Each structure stands twice: as C-alpha cells, then as structure tokens.
Amino acid sequence: MSKHAEHHSAEQMAELFRQGIHTGVGKPIKHESADKHVAGEAQYIDDRLEFPNQLHVYARLSDRAHARILRIDTAPCYGFPGVRIAITHEDIPGLKDIGPLLPGDPLLAIDTVEYVGQPVLAVAAGDMATARQAALAAIVEYEDLEPVLDVVQALRKRHFVLESHTHQRGDSATALATAPHRLQGTLHIGGQEHFYLETQIASVMPTEDGGMLVYSSTQNPTEVQKLVAEVLGVPMNHVAVDMRRMGGGFGGKETQAASPACLCAVVARLTGQPTKMRLQRVEDMLTTGKRHPFYVEYDVGFDASGRLHGIALELAGNCGCSPDLSASIVDRAMFHADNAYYLGDATINGHRCKTHTASNTAYRGFGGPQGMVAIEEVMDRIARHLQLDPLAVRKANYYGKDERNVTHYYQTVEHNLIAEMTEQLEASAQYAQRREAIRHFNAHSPVLKKGLALTPVKFGISFTASFLNQAGALVHLYTDGSIHLNHGGTEMGQGLNTKVAQVVAEVFQVEVSRIKITATHTEKVPNTSPTAASSGADLNGKAAQNAAETIKQRLVEFATRHWNVSPEDVEFRGGQVRVREQLVSFDTLVQLAYFNQVSLSSTGFYKTPKIYYDRAQARGRPFYYFAFGAACSEVIIDTLTGEYKLLRTDILHDVGDSLNPAIDIGQVEGGFAQGMGWLTTEELVWNAQGKLVTNGPASYKIPAVADMPADFRVQLVENRKNPEHTVFHSKAVGEPPFMLGISVWCALKDAVASLAGYRVQPNIDAPATPERVFWGCEQMRAVVRQPHADTAPLPEV
C-alpha cells in the first residue's frame, strides 16, 4: 500500500463519487505554475544551477547589412584572460546551415553577411563580459555590397527568397471591370518584435559518445534536436532536448531558439565543457527575426451596398534575408485575406520579398493578421466611399451559411458563427447608440474626436503544412496512483500543460494535483511538431487523452476480469471507481492492476482528420475548423498631436467548449493587447544602413498597463461546442484573439475620418502611431479645405 494514499470511509467515497472531480475539463483552474511564478520559484534556463566549468558563449554580430567577408581574425580574442575558444563557421563540425526547411541561415556567416545583427563569430569564456569583450576584439573586414532594404524595391526587382504563389477563384479582372464601383490603393503594415520577456537562451552539457543534453527555451524541441545533431554531425539519438517552460514565445522561439543552442553545442563539442548562451535584450532584438512587415496593393470592385464583386490583392511579405518559415507565413496571409468575407472573384498573389534585414519568422497569427488587416482596410475604404457605416459593409460581405460560403481556396466555411456573434456583440456593446453618441460628442468637441469600430475574426485552425498536424504523449501511472504526464507541446505561458493535465484528469477522473507535469523532452516524446499554429491543446490534448484512454481501457479490462463484471459496470468518477455497486478508490484499482501485471504506461498519438491541401492547385481544406471572434473598440484621439487613448473594448470570442475558461480569457485578453500594440505603438524603425534602431524597450513600445481600456468586457461564446471532434469539443485560442486588436486600428481611423465627415478614408499605415494619426488628421483637414468636386457636401458639424 502507498504510504500517501488517502483513506476514506464508504460514505466519503460515495460523496466523492457523487461530486465528481473539481479540476477537470472546463474548470477555470489556475495555471499549474502560478504559485511558483508569484514566488519566484519557477525555474527558467538561466535560473538553473550552473554546471561546473561552464563557458558563456557570445556571438559577434555583423554591423553591415550586406557585405562580403574579406577576413576574420580571432587571434585578438585570445588576449583576454578567461577566453577558452573563438570560433568561426570553419569550426563547425557538421552542417553549417540551420535553416528550418530550406537553407539560408548559416549558424555563423560564411562568405557574406546579409543583415545587421547576423552572427559572424562566437567566443566562449568563463563569464559573459569577457566573452563579449573578446568577441568585439576580433578583426572582421568587410567589402560592402549594395543592400536591398525596402520591401517595395524588392517587389519591383522581384528580389525574392521564394517563388510567388497565387490563389484564384473566378475571373477577378472581369469582375473588377464590371463592378459598379472600383477602388485601388496601397497599404504598408509594420512588423512586430516578439518581446518575450525571457530572451533567447540555451544551456548545453556534453554527454558520452559525442552527445549533448540541451536545455533550450524553444517552442520546437525536436527541431533544436535535429539541428544540434546536424551541426555536430551526429545522429539525432545522440541529442536530447529538455524544455520545462519559456518566458514567453509568441512564435519567436519556433525557429529562432536554434541558433544559441547550436552555438552552445558546437562550443561544447570543441571544448568538452558545458556552455550557456543568453542573449542580451538589444542583441536579441538585432539578431532574431520578427513578424513580417507587408506591403499591400489592392484593386476592389463592389456594388452600392458595399458587397464585393471581385478583388485583386498583391500581398508582399518582407521576409528578410532568408526563407525561414516565410513560405507558410505568406501562404497564411493569403488564406486570411478574406477574413470573414466572401470575396467574389478573387486573385491573391503572395510574394516573398528578400531584404537585407533579419529573417522574419513566426509570430502569433503567422501572416494571418497581415492578410486580415489588408481586407479590413478595404472594408473601411469602401464604407467611406459609399458613406456607409463600416460595420454595415462588413456585414454585407460576411460569408453566408449556405451560399457565398466557399473561400478563395475552395474550403467551405462550415459552422459559421460570425453573423450571430456580431449581432450579439452589436447589442451588448450598444454599437448603434454609441455610434450616435460619438457623432454627438464629435460635433461638440473641436479638438478631441472619438472613433468606434467593430471588426470580426475568422481564423483557420491547423498547420497548413498538413503533416505537422500530429502529436504524441506519454503517460505513466505509478503504483501509488500518482500520474506522470508528458507530451510534445511546450509551455510558454499559454497554459498548455494545465489544459492537458485537465484532459488527463478528466479521463481518469482524478484531480490535477495528482498529475505531475514534466519538462518537454525529446527522449520521452519524439518527433514532435512545434507548439505553434494555436494547435498545442488540440493536438497534444488529444494525444494525452489517447494515452490516458489506453491505460484506462486496460484498467477497465482488468476490473472486468478481476470482479467478473462487464465493462459497463465499471465507472470512474471523483477519484473512485464504481464496480457495479461497489466503490474502490482509484489508488486501490491501480495497485491491484499492478499486482496483476497490467501495464500502467502508454504513449498516445493523434493526427488531425479531414484536412488536405493541394498547393499546386491552391485548393483544398487546409483547416480542420475556424475559430471566430469579434471586438468593438472605442478610442479618443487628439487631433492636434495625434495622441490617443483606448476607452472601451467589448469582445465576444469563440473557443467552443472551453477546456479552461480562465486560461482562455487570459489568451483572449493577452492576444487582443498584443494585436493592439502591433497596430498602434509598436513601431520598428531601421536606419539607412539597415540597422534596427528601435532595438530595446526604451525605443520599442509594447503596451503598458495604462494602454488597456479602462472598460474592458470580454466574453466567451457560451454553449457552442466545436462541431468537429476536437478535444472535448474545444477550439484553439492561441492566435485568433490577436486579430481582435484590429478593431482599435479601425477605430482610430474612424475617429480621424470624422474630421472630414466620414467621406474619406485616411491613409494611416500600421502601426497607427500618434504621428501617423496626426498626419491622417492633417490629410482630413486638407480635404475639408479643398473638397473634391465628386464628393458629397460636408455635413454640418
């Protein structure tokens, strides 16, 4: 018998059975690490006890955007006491390129550098300061080459990292030519720094046979394992990657975590010593990729109600200097250029422009937000042109339930909630009344103006590279009834481990306190997909459910044999197991099973059904289902300076049957804040030499506490199971809420448009910094001074 087993009377057992568990699926329990977070006890890689003889690795970064390397001399590095080794690409034992899918990302620069911030050489020393000083003392001689720094220039020159791709349905040229109205325009959409609070870090311990134990803050342990093996020239089975938690990821640790891990591994191999590499904030911002900036050209035809007849969209993603994940990212921008709207005849071209900047990478939404911002700009522009409320134009274009319900990539939009959600939010946020109140306010406020916008979100769930939609898990039941849970997903704050533990708790009908969540580890669950595409809980939750169900099935089979009952007589509930009329504790059953030689450990596996995509035809069903959301934001702007404040935001978001409403609301609120930041104050600025000058939090401004709306009302859609057979009919929640932030950008433009009677759409690129809002106001004032002959007269203000 276990020393820790609780003993309950028959009455107590009956009561526990009657109540069921309190921490299973659907319960708003707190994050599994919450108590450790608040106490400072949650360990991140830099908090681990350090290995003896550990070396700190520091990479010297290129200060040229595009140059040929003429000479590297690391001899001066060795003049600093404590320096153990200085390496260049020539010292890498195996493959030199760590590009995730295609080459283009040399671990250390080979012949040329392609961005300011590219690692050129690395130095390892007993402490970080010495490694840094020594690395800066190395001699690197360059011959400058002409850089391409501008996305439009790259587009015109067809300076691409990958071929362009087209989605096409119908004949957009004819639709445009015959539509009653037609508008053309362009838009620049800024990139975004992830600003995970924990910068990139890895710590590596060499093991026997040339192997490595790698601690990496990564969303993609398997890829780190593969790349470390490749740069060392060893099989993957020599490398183990351990990942307990990240201090934020947001996509920024999907591919970008590999570089420090691989540099540490190479140095560990060459020196036989353990290594650690932690990027300082400025270096992290200089060297890692960001959200792709996009340049958009649109040509849209529509009728008097604002309904689209056709559209031609050029989406030019600024990929930076290498492919990284840009193939899929620009694809996802194309897949989401419809947002919630039926586009009519559509031609969407996606371009992957190469510039000499850091290679842009995954970031929450993965290109989707950029595609959606483009179509939302089009909606606003149409509304101004027709002098309709932008919401009316949006609703006129929503996908229908039974008709107008096929996307431009030929997936039918099933189970579409957006119309009813919009209706519900419109009512609860009192859109019409506030629209009127704002008109009144603006009429009487000469300096400050208010704006309002309600925007929808429809986001496709699944990796568009279909093979990635698989996951594994590993569950052990120990003889004392405690449970060890491991899965292929990674915890970056999103509460994945909590949700997966709730799933396992639900299956076994025990409280989550009994389940030990352990670090993601490539030796426990192999060949994992990155924790990305909002898929973490969908995939790993299902895999863990599968593992737990396998064990549970064995327990049921054992019970039927042991008590000579049928399977229907065995019921797990509230930590108890009912065998016909008799209750036994879960612990007791586990022990009995063990003594009767039942395996209490199982792997689990899951792959997403139904999805397929033929990229050559640009047709298929890339998404298992869609997640929906809608947000209504009200802002106030100062037309003298462009300063603004978000006053109120109402959100209604669809998570199916929530696995954990508290965690889901956290994702919704946090995603909204990040999306809002992307489109307002987060501005990436590069200088003429291609160096990122907003390279720290003093110059790059993510939302702070006062940027959040004082009146913030967030609701999850209730009683709406995911009709697909997802884990307990929940929906993914990581990325979709990010795009709720678009409502703030549109509200700002609405406030600016009020200056010219809502007749003209202000040209406000993203992010709408106070300066851009100010220039939008100037544009409106110019319109008022010189109204075009073809526009309606100004209303009385």
Catalytic sites, residue numbers? 735
Query: Whose Cβ is closer to other proteins: residue 57's or residue 393's?
Result: 57
Nearest to residue 317, comparing CAs of 176, 154, 174, 447?
154
Minimal distance, residue 699 CB to other proteins, in Å: 6
> Which residues sit opposite 578 in a β-bridge?
571, 583
Site for other proteins in 119-158 (CB under 8 A): 129, 132-133
68 binds other proteins (CB under 8 A): no
Cβ–Cβ under 8 Å, residues 383 and 341: no
Cβ–Cβ under 8 Å, residues 275 and 217: no
Minimal distance, residue 48 CB to other proteins, in Å: 9
Query: Whose Cβ is closer to other proteins: residue 451's or residue 481's?
Result: 451
Query: Whose Cβ is closer to other proteins: residue 2's or residue 445's?
Result: 445
Q: What amino acid occupies position 512?
A: V
Classify strands 711-716 and 644-653 as parallel, antiparallel or unpaired.
parallel
672 binds other proteins (CB under 8 A): yes
Query: Whose Cβ is closer to other proteins: residue 178's or residue 689's?
Result: 689
Query: Whose Cβ is closer to other proteins: residue 129's or residue 139's?
Result: 129
Query: Whose Cβ is closer to other proteins: residue 69's or residue 636's?
Result: 636
The phi and psi torsions of 412 (rounded to 5 degrees) equal -75, 130
Cβ–Cβ under 8 Å, residues 70 and 111: no
Task: Name which position in 426, 669, 735, 750 contacts other proteins (CB under 8 A).
Answer: 669
What tokens appear for 407 in the block?
């996307």
696 binds other proteins (CB under 8 A): yes
Minimal distance, residue 654 CB to other proteins, in Å: 18
220 binds other proteins (CB under 8 A): no
Q: What amino acid occupies position 661?
A: P
Instruction: With CB under 8 A as the rule, give the number of residues binding other proteins.
Output: 88
Cβ–Cβ under 8 Å, residues 214 and 269: no
SS3 of 753, please? Answer: helix
> Which residues sit opposite 629 in a β-bridge?
457, 653
Site for other proteins in 249-268 (CB under 8 A): 249-250
Q: Roughly how many angstroms between the first and final C-alpha of the chain, as a whole number?
A: 82
Mind spelling out the 3-state secondary structure of 232-301? HCCCHHHEEEEECCCCCCCCCCCCCCHHHHHHHHHHHHHHCCCEEEECCHHHHHHHCCCECCEEEEEEEE
Task: Name which position in 10, 39, 304, 789 contacts other proteins (CB under 8 A).
Answer: 39
Minimal distance, residue 704 CB to other proteins, in Å: 5
110 binds other proteins (CB under 8 A): no
Task: Name which position in 303, 697, 763, 784 contacts other proteins (CB under 8 A).
Answer: 697
Residues in the chain, total: 797
* Spatial distance between the Cα atoms of 780 and 292, rounded to a whole number of angstroms: 30
CB atoms closer than 10 angstroms to residue 15 = 13
Task: Name which position in 109, 483, 492, 747 contacts other proteins (CB under 8 A).
Answer: 492
Query: Whose Cβ is closer to other proteins: residue 46's or residue 150's?
Result: 46
35 binds other proteins (CB under 8 A): yes
Site for other proteins in 322-381 (CB under 8 A): none
Segment contacting other proteins by CB under 8 A, of 337-345, 366-374, 592-600, 667-675: 667-675
Query: What kind and span of H or E run contains 498?
Result: helix 496-508
797 binds other proteins (CB under 8 A): no
Task: Name which position in 76, 82, 185, 248 contacts other proteins (CB under 8 A).
Answer: 248
Query: Whose Cβ is closer to other proteins: residue 249's or residue 365's?
Result: 249
Minimal distance, residue 693 CB to other proteins, in Å: 5
What tokens appear for 591 in the block?
């022990």
Site pattern 379..418 for other proteins (x: CB under 8 A): ----------------------------------------
The phi and psi torsions of 785 (rounded to 5 degrees) equal -65, -40
Q: What angle do CA 426, 459, 32 make, to 5 degrees?
A: 95
Site for other proteins in 607-646 (CB under 8 A): 636-638, 640-645
198 binds other proteins (CB under 8 A): yes
Minimal distance, residue 278 CB to other proteins, in Å: 8
Cβ–Cβ under 8 Å, residues 719 and 658: no
* Spatial distance between the Cα atoms of 435 and 449, rounded to a whole number of angstroms: 12
Alpha helices in 680-756 (DSSP H): 742-753
Minimal distance, residue 446 CB to other proteins, in Å: 6
Task: Name which position in 6, 47, 141, 144 contacts other proteins (CB under 8 A).
Answer: 47
Site for other proteins in 698-717 (CB under 8 A): 698-699, 701-708, 710, 712, 714
Segment contacting other proteins by CB under 8 A, of 89-97, 300-308, 501-509, 696-704: 696-704
Site for other proteins in 744-773 (CB under 8 A): 769-771
What tokens appear for 594 in the block?
């063990």
* Spatial distance between the Cα atoms of 310 and 665, rounded to a whole number of angstroms: 37
584 binds other proteins (CB under 8 A): no
Site pattern 426..465 for other proteins (x: CB under 8 A): -------------------xxxx-----------------
Nearest to residue 524, comparing CAs of 474, 594, 466?
474
Segment contacting other proteins by CB under 8 A, of 93-101, 157-165, 416-424, 679-687: 679-687
The phi and psi torsions of 51 (rounded to 5 degrees) equal -75, 150
Query: Whose Cβ is closer to other proteins: residue 40's or residue 272's?
Result: 40
Minimal distance, residue 197 CB to other proteins, in Å: 4
Query: Whose Cβ is closer to other proteins: residue 304's or residue 705's?
Result: 705
The separation between CA 744 and the C-alpha centre of its own chain, rounded to angstroms, equals 20
CB atoms closer than 10 angstroms to residue 47 = 12
Query: Strands across the sheet with 67-73, in order?
Result: 112-113, 67-73, 139-144
94 binds other proteins (CB under 8 A): no
DSSP result, 56-113:
EEEEEEP--SSEEEEEEE-GGGGGSTTEEEEE-GGG-SS--B--SSSS--BSS--SEE
Query: Whose Cβ is closer to other proteins: residue 620's or residue 770's?
Result: 770
670 binds other proteins (CB under 8 A): yes
**Tokens 């590219």 belong to residue:** 118
Q: Which residues contact 518 (CB under 8 A, 6 or more apart)?
A: 244, 484, 485, 486, 524
